[in-house]
């Protein structure tokens, strides 16, 4: 049993490392293809890790090693995603939607504070934020209809960082 776990852990490590170094060794210049290969390797290694037994100390140690290798592979996938999509276009629509939702929550909180404190400065801030929301929603509609600005331009104008 110990030998089987050791062989599985070594195999997972070799596959992960070979995928990482294959692109460098063969001069793989297609970041999207490389990213897809890394993602599939990550998912298969993740599945193998979840199926590994971890009852004895040796099995637990092998599982921990495989988990660390999987974590390293995940970091490599994140780096490749950043290279393949530096502006974060794949996540931009959801990110913009969450920014708008967050601002709407803030508006309702500001209005609530204005009612509680009877202070008009909260209402003024809520009105300013509502104008900002309207602009964000206008840009969101233009983006969804594929008319207007690029993601890079929108991120700069709306001050939404890519991450």
pLDDT tens by residue, the chain, 163 residues: 566 655 565 655 566 555 555 555 455 466 677 878 888 888 998 898 888 888 889 989 999 999 999 999 999 888 887 777 766 777 888 888 999 999 999 999 999 999 999 888 999 999 999 999 999 998 888 888 887 788 888 888 887 777 6
Q: Which residues contact 21 (CB under 8 A, 6 or more apart)?
A: none
CA torsion sign for 141, 146, 149, 155 is: positive
Residue count (the chain): 163
The C-alpha atoms of residue 161 and residue 12 are separated, in whole angstroms, by 35
């Amino acid at each position: 049993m110990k030998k089987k776990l050791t062989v599985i852990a070594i195999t997972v490590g070799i596959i992960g490392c070979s995928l990482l170094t294959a692109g460098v060794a063969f001069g793989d210049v297609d970041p999207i293809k490389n990213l897809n290969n890394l993602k599939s390797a990550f998912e298969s290694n993740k599945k193998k890790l979840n199926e590994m037994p971890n009852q004895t100390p040796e099995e637990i140690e092998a599982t921990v090693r495989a988990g660390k290798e999987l974590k390293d592979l995940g970091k490599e996938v994140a780096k490749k995603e950043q290279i393949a999509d530096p502006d974060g276009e794949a996540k931009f629509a959801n990110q913009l939607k969450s920014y708008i939702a967050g601002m709407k929550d803030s508006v309702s909180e500001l209005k609530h504070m204005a009612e509680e404190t009877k202070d008009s400065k909260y209402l003024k801030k809520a009105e300013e934020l509502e104008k900002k929301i309207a602009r964000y929603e206008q840009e969101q509609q233009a983006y969804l209809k594929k008319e207007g600005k690029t993601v890079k331009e929108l991120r700069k104008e709306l001050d939404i960082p890519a991450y």
